Structure 1
Amino acid sequence: MEPRLPRGMRDILPEQMMLRRYVIRSFEEIFEAYGFEPLQTPALELRETLMGKYGSDAEKLIYDARHREGKEELSLRYDLSVPLARVVAMYPNLPRPFKRYQIAPVWRAERPQKGRYREFYQCDADIVGTSSMAADAEIISLIHEALTRLGFRNFVILLNDRKLLTGLGRYSGVPEPLLGSLYRAIDKFDRLGLEGVREEMRRYGIPEEAIARMLDLLQIEGDHTEILGELSRRMQAAEIPEGLEGIRELETLLRFVEAMGVPSERYRISFTMVRGLEYYTGPIFETVVTEPRIGSITGGGRYDGLVGLFARQSVPMTGTSFGIERIIDVIQELGMAPPDLPRTPVQILVTVFDEPRMGASIALAQAFRRAGLKAMLYFEPRRLEAQLRYAHQKGIPFVAILGPDEEARGVVTVRDMGSGEQRTLPPEEAARWIRQSLGGKGDGR
């Protein structure tokens, strides 16, 4: 049998996992600094929990799963937002605002391509139980801080509002049944350009007059204040309440984002950013990397109606999802990983000189572990050169050599594999020297 993987799936080997752990733990530190708490939900949900929440296009990508003797219809989770809404509905006594983060795999039957897999990790941070735009602004600040800490420089957070999108469609005279088609068309603006979007709208059957009015709106230029001011005048004249409410939300959001100290060049309003999922109800946000052009690396927004699908009343919610796979791809492509990021969690390899000294090597490895070091025993008494070569191949920074002379004197020879420096010390002093030498290099935690 040929060993191979299903399309869109991959193995992540230890050295790659070290980078992944660094990214995930960076997110965890930032989330907890903002007061978010960890949450875990199961990979499998009842099919009825997931269906009817995302829209028909997204739901075609959901993997179904059924035990051959089970009666429940199950599906692998598509994202982490709908499971969160289920949790909020099941546990109504959770103190609010409830701020949670979750980092876990999700599954989608998409066409595999660069930066897109059928099994991948999402990294979500959400705030439950407040309608304040300060919560949405905090999510944007969180996005900025997380990406900046990871070394991203060429990115921008795009802002829009679903209520404003609805207002734009109604102002343009797009028939109500075609609003969804309108969103799908303008969402392709960056890829197709103005004329390409015009053709998409025609293909969907949107009237020519409505197309002209819509494209005119999309070409309004200026800073945030000028753009929203012009749109507000048009919405007031046409008496479009949804559009005006969306504008007020964006104005408040921008004021709070500025108060949080997010640099103005890191965010901008984009009326052609739609977000495909149907459950969004207010501000929406998406982060794009301008170099390399790999698509969006975060996406989110406000989805106040989702809990109401599971409970008698709705609960306001807002949040974002970081695309860890694409983020890691960019870090690797641009060489953004810390130069001292270890290739292995192992800090010291304890060599085995010969069979009679196997017990002494085992005891030394245990002593290093008790001293707080990540120690690995080689297991077999092979030539020292072979054991040193193994440590070099694995990227293990230190090697402990325990031969007859060292054992007789109650010491151990420790070699720094990077500098070549060697010291012969009692085990407790050797452990202290290793810890000091590792210092701020980190261990991928």
Structure 2
Amino acid sequence: MLRYCNKQLLRKPTTFIKPVVFNFSSPYSTSIPDASESSHTGEFVNSISKPYSVTTYARPNLVLTHGKGSYIYDLENRKYVDFTSGIAVTCLGHANDEITNLIADQASKLLHCSNLYYNLPAGELANKLVTKTKEFDGMKDASRVFLCNSGTEANEAALKFARKYGKSKNPDKYEFITFENSFHGRTMGALSVTPNPKYQEPFSPLIPGVHVAKPNDIDSVKALINKDKTCAVIIEPIQGEGGVNPVDTEFLVELRKLCDDNDVLLIYDEIQCGLGRSGKLWAHSWLGPDAHPDIVTIAKALGNGFPIGATMITEKVEGALSVGDHGTTYGGNPLASTIGSFIVEKIADEAFLSQVQDKSAKFIEGLNEIAEENPEDILKVKGKGLLLGLQFRPDFDINKVVEKCREYGLLVITAGMNTIRLVPALNIPDEAITEGLSILRKSIKESK
């Protein structure tokens, strides 16, 4: 099948774009650097894309065109094992046939109707998120769901709901506690609880009343929490962007009790670590009810690539909300909700989650072998489920590893604390794990 890139789509005369054959059996690149400036890719980037795109991303000369499962292809028809899944998004792989059919079916019925009215898929998704969460050992008091379009929007809703709850108790009860190395999004509210100077300083001043504690240090939280001023604590049970750092179970139990003692809401950001990524439905499903949250934020995997987010709350939080307190035009649209409902049904399955844990064990075994081969360079293997990281010594240039991996046909990404982050599709085949780890091993060796 032929697909023509940009010439027809952009209705702009060009001379460099030729018909691109979507080949699903092309070989991996064998020591081929990123496409040159004179290639189809280089000319597309420099003539069509880059001059008209806002400068907010640093990207290699790589134009991805199509994928299938855990493999993805570029404009030069080079094939890559994908250990990124769009930053933990395409949990069931690229071009999933069942999702493709669902999209076509729902698109032929109803794409959008606004939140002025109910729609069937949104109601079904909200119901399923709550019932499956309880069935699979998550948030014991889960009660209601607000549907939106992204992870940062899910966190914005959580912050607003928490402030409304706090101010219903006391007008001064509006402050938040967040944690070092956390990441909650780029909009102003979510950015305010993402204590990274690189992200925050260009846009300061941010929203007031945010304090930063240390993960796994309950005394640092005790020093900041105030019954009269703190409305919520927000934390990722497994930090993703900050370095793939699982938070200690004992700390989260203590944190829950501290929040209860001070009438403070506990928000778990499970945007990256939730929906099967940890090997259970939620990362907090590994915890007992004595560490469950009042609010959970959800996105990424919920749409397998289609934009969607959700904020799940308890009845205690619901009791502080009124009609008109929050809203969204696109949130809960029938198409996104249809996909989300399918994803929840697929992942909330014991056999599926067991396979994620099996694949995690295969990854961890391979990563430990790589770490043992490079004891002077790799400090530790960390993470849980299929949110895994290789942390290198601080002066090791991990960007060289990323580039080498791409050269040999593997896509990986980085995280804080000089960590290579691995977040493949949850249904990645074993052969792709083996292929990718082999490329990673070779790339590390050649990056020293």
TM-score by length of 2: 0.25
Higher relative contact order (CA 8 A, sep 6+): 2
TM-score by length of 1: 0.25
Answer 1 or 2: which has greater helix percent.
1
